[in-house]
């Protein structure tokens, strides 16, 4: 369960990104935040994994205030698909996908053994694991980002416009797979 309890976010320049927002999301639910550009959707997602802390209010996961949790461990327990993919350009696709499981203690060999299945799950050939992000199309990079977010089998999956760079057919396939 994720709960936003009267959260607000004001940036030092005076910009108000979120104002007194409350929402309770039960476990095992898919929720979509819809709003115009600049309405605070990304800020709310970033609050869940403590990339942004609220100016006021609380964010809770399973009734625990996330301010009490180590931010690094919290982030490693949450899958997050970024708008622009966020892949590490100097690492192969396979290493990008296996990064979080390895950071969480999974042996490298075991983490890399799962990569092929994850790539196939998002509609990519496992042979792409040997390539670097710069050798992929924007849509392929986006799908690698989804595979990476799924790699640690998280209970929470945050997706910030995850299908913006993929064509309509692939978008539908990914939505069917994930939702």
Q: Alpha-carbon distance 6 to 159, whole Å?
A: 22
Task: Give the residue, 9 or 123, on which the prediction is more confident.
Answer: 9
Q: Which two tokens stand for residue 20?
A: 């007194």
Q: Alpha-carbon distance 129 to 8, whole Å?
A: 41
pLDDT tens, residue by residue, 146-164: 999 999 999 999 988 777 7
Q: Which two tokens stand for residue 114?
A: 């799962």
pLDDT tens, residue by residue, 30-69: 898 988 888 999 999 999 999 999 999 999 999 999 999 9
Confidence of residue 99 (pLDDT cuts 50, 70, 90): very high
Contacts of 78 (CB under 8 A, 6+ apart): 48, 49, 154, 155, 156, 157, 158
User: What pLDDT does residue 148 have?
Assistant: 95
Contacts of 98 (CB under 8 A, 6+ apart): 106, 108, 111, 112, 114, 115, 151
């Amino acid at each position: 369960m994720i709960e936003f309890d009267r959260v607000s976010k004001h940036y030092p320049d005076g910009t108000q990104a979120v104002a007194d927002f409350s929402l309770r999301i039960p476990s095992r639910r898919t929720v979509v935040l819809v709003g115009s550009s600049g309405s605070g959707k990304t800020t709310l997602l970033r609050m869940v994994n403590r990339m942004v802390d609220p100016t006021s209010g609380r964010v809770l996961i399973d009734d625990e205030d996330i301010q009490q949790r180590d931010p690094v461990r919290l982030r490693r327990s949450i899958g997050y698909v970024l708008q622009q993919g966020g892949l590490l350009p100097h690492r192969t696709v396979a290493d990008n996908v296996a990064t979080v499981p390895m950071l969480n203690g999974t042996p490298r060999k075991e983490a890399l053994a799962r990569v092929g299945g994850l790539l196939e799950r998002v509609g990519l050939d496992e042979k792409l694991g040997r390539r670097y992000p710069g050798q992929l199309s924007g849509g392929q990079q986006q799908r690698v980002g989804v595979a990476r977010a799924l790699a640690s089998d998280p209970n929470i999956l945050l997706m910030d416009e995850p299908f913006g760079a993929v064509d309509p057919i692939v978008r539908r396939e990914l939505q069917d797979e994930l939702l």
